[in-house]
Structure 1
Amino acid sequence: MSSKPAGCAAGPGGRAPARLPSRKTGSKRRTPHLLREKLDTFIEFLARTGSVSQAAETAGLGRTQVYERRRTHKRFAAAWNKALSLGIDGLHDKAMQRALEGEERAIVRGGEVIAMERRHNDGMVKFLLKAHRPEFSGAAPTASASEEEAMAKRLKAGRQRLEAHRARQHDRNRKKEDGS
Structure 2
Amino acid sequence: MNSKLTPERKVAFCAALVASGGNVSRACEAVNISRQTAYDWRDEDPAFAKEWDRAKSLGLDTLEDEAVRRAFEGVDKPIVHQGVITDTVKDYSDTLMIFLLKGGKPEKYRERVDQNITGGMSLTVLTGVPADDGSDLAG
> TM-score over 0.5 for the alignment?
yes
CA RMSD of superposed structures (Å): 1.9
Check if 1:43 corresponds to 2:14: yes
Q: Distance in 1 between matches of 2:19 and 2:83?
A: 36
Q: Taking structure 1 as reference, are residues 75 and 140 closer, same or farther at Cα in structure 2, changes over 3 Å only? A: farther
- In 1, Cα distance between the equivalents of 2:73 and 2:48? 37
User: How many residue pairs were aligned?
Assistant: 109
Structure 2 gap segments, 5+ residues each: 115-139
**Following the alignment from structure 2 to structure 1, what is the Cα–Cα distance between the partners of residues 112 and 9?**
44
Alignment partners' CA distance in 1, 2:75 and 2:113 = 31
Q: Does 1:131 align with 2:103?
A: yes
Question: What is the rounded CA distance, in whole Å, between the counterparts of 2:52 and 2:113 in structure 1?
Answer: 35
Q: Hey, what does 1:115 align to over in structure 2?
A: 87
- Indicate the structure with greater helix content: 1
**Distance in 1 of aligned mates of 2:112 and 2:60:** 24
Q: Does 1:63 align with 2:31?
A: no
Q: Which has the larger radius of gyration?
A: 2
Query: C-alpha separation between the residues in 2 aligned to 1:140 and 1:95?
Result: 27
Q: Mind listing any 5+ residue stretches in structure 1 that lack a counterpart?
A: 1-31, 142-180
Q: How high is the TM-score relative to the length of structure 1?
A: 0.56
Per-residue CA deviation, residues 18-69 of structure 1 (Å, 9 max, x unaligned), is xxxxxxxxxxxxxx6x743222210111122211111111111110111122
Q: Displacement of 1:101 after TM fit?
A: 1.3
Q: Secondary structure at the match of 1:61?
A: coil
How far, CA to CA, are the matches of 1:108 and 1:88 in structure 2?
33
TM-score by length of structure 2 reads 0.71
Q: Judge conservation of contact 1:42–1:59 (CA < 8 Å) in 2.
A: yes
Aligned-residue sequence identity (percent) comes to 33
